[in-house]
Structure 1
Amino acid sequence: MSPRLRLLPALALLLSPLALRAALTPEEERIAAYIDAHRADFVRDLEAAVKIDSATENLAGVRAMSDFFGAQLSELGFAYRFAPLPAETKRAGHLVAERTGTRGQRVLLIGHLDSVLPGGAFRLEGDKAYGAGTSDIKGGDLVLIYALKALHAAGALENTRILVVMTGDEEAPGQPLAVSRRDLWDAAKRSDLALAFEGSIGHTATVARRGIISWELEVQGATGHSSAIFAPHMGSGAVFEMARILGEFHDELRKIDGVTCNPALVVGGTEAELDRLGGKVTGKSNIVAQRALVRGDLRFLSAAQKEEVKARMRAIVARHLPRTSAELRFPDDGYPAMEATPENAALLRQLDAVSRDLGYGAVEAYDPKSRGAGDASFVSPPLPALDGLGASGRGAHAPGEFMDLGTMPEMVKRTAVLLYRLTR
């Protein structure tokens, strides 16, 4: 055998995942080994979590979900409490758990307790775990918890400063936000950075994500026999005015990078009513519509972009067709944008280094235009933050939702080793 051929096995060894993990410390190796040894426990806890019906509106179920995770965090030395929300918010409250120490950076870990669909059914098909909330976000919550378990088993949680907040209403936040997000904001004031555990997407993490607010449009017009529409005394009617406004929203706002504007619910007729989940309308085909109503959402990349788009929308609404009027409202603050910052990029570089040291390869920034809103946006800025560190899967908010258990070791190890390095 030639000397060159004899070098090939050695080269293969150098390029193997084990060799790529040479940058891990012995303690980090023990942390990673714990995770490999406890896959079955993770699956057991995921099944138990999914079987708790913690749909947002199920207040008792959200509290039960908090107590389930809170018990595990208590075993790791965290002081756990459930922070209830006032009854008028129609939401249960949040999990808050904390370890107070003096070592390393103060890290805020963010998850949520609620799911869109009720829990209950759980099944395994190979590496796919099916059930409501498996990927959004009960699997992600367990990525967080099992990373902490791995650190605890290695004795690496001692004297750390870690705060865990799992909101009970991420899927449909209680109003007003000044009340429903108070506990999260208070936690952020006592933290140096934040990590959030919404679903992971490939080898990426989220350094920015769009914000979202809702909007309402109410249009009025003259009404009467349809044969008179377009006549000076009748004008164009409410539906044509609504259509004009929506058409101009479509043509103008879609030109702005990162912005989407979706008219989700629309009614128009002689009489019309509309709320968050639907509406009703009355009228006849030979009567000019007197009233039209629209409800929708607006997504944006920054606070400045949000204000720019709102101004453009108001200007479009102000240009009325004959004998019509319209009012545009933005009824709540919604979710702010998680804006891209140099600090977030620096935190991503730390995660990327961890992933490479573990042998999993590079981690890149995910396109913020492809992510929905999340609780990380309430704390970043000002905090440096990463999101998208949770479970990998598909079908969130739908009956076929699943978590890919094959990716679980990678996600938990990346989080655990990153936490280890941040808290030294």
Structure 2
Amino acid sequence: MAFFFRALCAVAALSFSAPSAAQLNETEQRMVAIVDAEQERTVAMLEKWVNQNSGTMNFVGVRAVGEMLRAELNPLSFKVDWIDISAANRAGHIVARHKGNGRGKRLLLIGHLDTVFEPDSPFQRWTREGNLGHGPGSGDDKGGMAVIIAALRAMKSAGTLKNADITVFLSGDEEDAGPLAIARRDLVAAGKWADVALDFEGLAQVEGRDMGSIARRSSDEWTLFVTARSGHSSGIFTPSAGSGAIYELARIVDSFRREIVEDKLTFNVGLIGGGTTAELAGDNLRISATGKTNIIAGTAIARGDLRAISLDQIARAQAKMRAIVAQPLKGATAQISFAPDGYPPMAPTEGSRKFLNRLNEVNRDLGLPEMGELDPVRRGAADISFVAKDVDGLVGLGPAGSGAHSPREKVDIGSIYLQAKRAAILMSRLAREKRSR
């Protein structure tokens, strides 16, 4: 009873003190009030999740966080399932389904249970300093899951959830996926069901301004092997000795940089080694090499990534890379291969841009500045890309923060509430719209 009294008081305060939100109807104002009334409850929930380690390879921990989410979603009338993906050597996913009236747009909410911090990391606990929360996954992506739950609770209390058809998909291996044919099979199926996909990864900000995102680039890996004549270093660059494997590898990767130039396309060389001998470890994370200063290198290896905004751009870039590799210096041979399991791009579409416009309608009605469209170069790859070919959507509905994937990770606690308000109102409006198929 005390909670409902506080919530009603918050609604009344909002109606008198926030004329900028005059375009919100009474139900939407109630959702705003509920999010505010539950602030400490939301933070306590996030703290509990953060203090449970769920590094991708900590299967017990990932499942434990999944059970914590089940405990939050079941009271909201979601049917919660655990999808085991032990066949991909990963823990599994939470998939929660809410059955509405079958008429409004079907919403797919995407987040993840795992973090990059395994049990042997020294970074394990939540601490709070004012409006900042520090801890593993505090922003990426346990903070995003907190936004989801806070928004759904507000919808439930305001009565807008009952008619909404929603699937919540929380993967257990977003940070280090297993074989994608298994690991993303169920997510792809959920994308085919949905009319809109909403990614609850972190909110992007540019110079302090909240930005909207409708695109993500791909993440593809490549490996380059070069072999060449080895011999005494005094003969290097002569017609008989050639330039050696290391010079040829350097020429190739620099040619990538100079000759394959397109907007939104980047290459990175993350691992390189060479010498008289060089061998790539089975985990693709290390190269062992031997050599002497007076011997021309006979072998060189490089590994890197390629990030692009569309499948067409990937195809063009790979064709150009192969063409460069196919013209080695005299005395050298080179081969390049591309990993079959890459993260696909989420290309910008007019459909996704329309959803950003809908989000900006929410911003205007909340009295907030409009969110500009973020350059996708500023974002990495993520799970929403696996459904992008089937459904339009929005990226970055989670909270603002910094230091992701490092012991400096922190979340802006106030942004959790703001994002929950945006999401609750947007989802409630979309759920009332007639689906197109």
User: The TM-score by the shorter chain falls in which range?
Assistant: over 0.9
Contact 1:17–1:358 under 8 Å retained in 2: no
> Is 2:190 aligned against 1:187?
yes
2:370 to 362, 370, 374: 362
Q: Deviations over 1:56-97 (max 9, x none)?
A: 11111111111111211111110001101133x221111100
Residue 381 of structure 2 is matched in structure 1 by 373
Number of residue pairs matched? Answer: 406
> Is 2:356 aligned against 1:348?
yes
Contact 1:267–1:294 under 8 Å retained in 2: yes
1:170: Cα distance to partner? 1.1
1:243 to 250, 253, 271: 250
Matches within 5 A, 1:23-172: 23-87=23-87, 89-101=88-100, 102-118=102-118, 120-172=124-176
1:17: Cα distance to partner? 7.3
Q: CA separation of 1:347/1:17 partners in 2, compared to 1, >3 Å: closer, same or farther?
A: farther
Equivalent-residue separation in structure 2 for 1:381 and 1:391 (angstroms)? 26
1:363: Cα distance to partner? 1.7
Contact 1:123–1:129 under 8 Å retained in 2: yes
Unaligned residue ranges in structure 1 (runs of 5+): 1-15
Contact 1:222–1:324 under 8 Å retained in 2: yes
Equivalent-residue separation in structure 2 for 1:60 and 1:215 (angstroms)? 32
Structure 1 SS opposite 2:96? strand
1:406: Cα distance to partner? 2.1
Contact 1:360–1:410 under 8 Å retained in 2: no
The one-letter code matched in structure 1 to 2:193 is R
Contact 2:169–2:187 under 8 Å retained in 1: yes
Contact 2:28–2:425 under 8 Å retained in 1: yes
Structure 2 SS opposite 1:136? coil
2:279 to 265, 273, 279: 273
Residue 269 of structure 2 is matched in structure 1 by 263
Unaligned residue ranges in structure 2 (runs of 5+): 1-15, 433-437
Equivalent-residue separation in structure 2 for 1:332 and 1:197 (angstroms)? 27
Equivalent-residue separation in structure 2 for 1:273 and 1:157 (angstroms)? 56
Q: Deviations over 1:315-372 (max 9, x none)?
A: 1111111110000000223111111111001101111001111122212211111110
Q: Deviations over 1:221-262 (max 9, x none)?
A: 111222222233322111011011011111122x31111100
Equivalent-residue separation in structure 1 for 2:278 and 2:58 (angstroms)? 31
**What TM-score, normalized to structure 1?**
0.93
1:227 to 234, 239, 263: 234
1:159: Cα distance to partner? 3.0
Of 218-227 and 31-40, more deviation after overlay is shown by: 218-227
Structure 2 SS opposite 1:391? coil
Contact 2:164–2:428 under 8 Å retained in 1: no
Residue 10 of structure 2 is matched in structure 1 by none
Residue 199 of structure 1 is matched in structure 2 by 202
The one-letter code matched in structure 2 to 1:92 is A
Equivalent-residue separation in structure 1 for 2:409 and 2:197 (angstroms)? 27
Equivalent-residue separation in structure 2 for 1:103 and 1:51 (angstroms)? 40
Structure 1 SS opposite 2:219? strand
Equivalent-residue separation in structure 1 for 2:211 and 2:254 (angstroms)? 36
Structure 2 SS opposite 1:135? coil
Residue 7 of structure 2 is matched in structure 1 by none
2:421 to 410, 413, 418: 413
Equivalent-residue separation in structure 2 for 1:168 and 1:396 (angstroms)? 17
Of 340-349 and 196-205, more deviation after overlay is shown by: 196-205
Equivalent-residue separation in structure 1 for 2:363 and 2:238 (angstroms)? 69
Structure 2 SS opposite 1:104? coil
Equivalent-residue separation in structure 2 for 1:17 and 1:283 (angstroms)? 73
Equivalent-residue separation in structure 2 for 1:23 and 1:134 (angstroms)? 33
Equivalent-residue separation in structure 1 for 2:267 and 2:57 (angstroms)? 27
The one-letter code matched in structure 2 to 1:269 is G
The one-letter code matched in structure 2 to 1:360 is L
Equivalent-residue separation in structure 2 for 1:360 and 1:322 (angstroms)? 62
Equivalent-residue separation in structure 2 for 1:359 and 1:321 (angstroms)? 62
